Amino acid sequence: MEPGNETQISKFHLLGLSEDPELQPLIFGLFLCMYLITVLGNLLIILAVSSDSHLHTPMYFLLANLSSVDICFTSTTIPKMLWNIQTQSNVISYAGCITQIYFLILFAGSEIFLLSVMAYDRFVAICHPLHYTVIMNPQLCGLLVLVSWIMSILNSLLHSLMMLRLSFCTHFQVSHLFCELIQMIQLACSDTFLNNLVMYFALVLLCGGPFAGILYSYSKILSAICRISSAQGKYKAFSTCASHLSVVSLFYCTLLGVYLSAAAPQIPHSGTVVSVMYTVVTPMLNPFIYTLRNKDIKRALKGIIGVPVM
């Protein structure tokens, strides 16, 4: 592009899933329900963990932190999207777009690090059960969560500052529900080589590293479970990891789908659908996954709401 065609724009237009006016009430109702379920479900887990002394353990401390991140994650995008549908305006300011990118990366990074810390917690619990309370002491748990947040803050700050160096020409329309880093980089008309380099380097380092840690932890866990003689013991050990494995698989598969869909822009709304999966659907399903077969959480929830849960 010629330098004269570049401009510092003040707003973007988010096109969303569909521009059909007749579909807007359906989309509004669907996302409002998913948002309320996400917030309510994760709030119940936080309340259950904080109110039941039996759940004051490293595993449930980390789960409560994950639930907090999930609430913040969806709150970064869905309220703005619902507001746009309600006001029949798809505009987001430039500053609002950068802010949305910052918090999306922040909470996505926090989720990635927390999932890896939770895998380490299960590794210690199954492979070193006699030393579990000594290793996973409150100080270490707090330190691991603090480091996760610091790493996520620094990563999101880096990407947000890198976005400020980009110029946009006439591409004010974003075929998405919200401002996402990879989509916005593709819209820029200035040189994006450095942004892409930093983005994919961070993806390999900060996503691939924790994922490698999760794989290593579960390889050791699987080896330890195979050495258990009784079938009941194997089942009990594996059942403590099943929920976490489900959440990790769901989150990483959808996150990978975002970058794969970006490489196939010819498929309409493919990136939008995949992004909805990891920013909305996964946080909504997490409370169900963690409570479905967890008797401790069910007992605590029964004490809160007064009726049996599932």
What is this structure's pTM?
Answer: 0.90
pLDDT at 276 over 90: no
* Predicted local distance difference test score (pLDDT) of residue 1: 41
* Predicted local distance difference test score (pLDDT) of residue 278: 82
DSSP bridge partners of 92: 12
* Predicted local distance difference test score (pLDDT) of residue 4: 42
Question: What confidence tens digit (pLDDT) does each residue in 256-272 have?
Answer: 877 776 666 555 556 67
- CA-nearest of 254, 276, 278, 214 to 69 is 278
Question: What confidence tens digit (pLDDT) does each residue in 25-49 have?
Answer: 999 999 999 999 999 999 999 999 9
Confidence of residue 5 (pLDDT cuts 50, 70, 90): very low
Phi, psi values for residue 76, rounded to 5°: -70, -30
Question: What confidence tens digit (pLDDT) does each residue in 56-105 have?
Answer: 999 999 999 999 999 999 999 999 999 988 888 888 999 999 999 999 99
* Predicted local distance difference test score (pLDDT) of residue 301: 84
* Predicted local distance difference test score (pLDDT) of residue 3: 44
pLDDT at 144 over 60: yes
Q: What are the chain's domains?
A: 11-294 (1.20.1070.10)
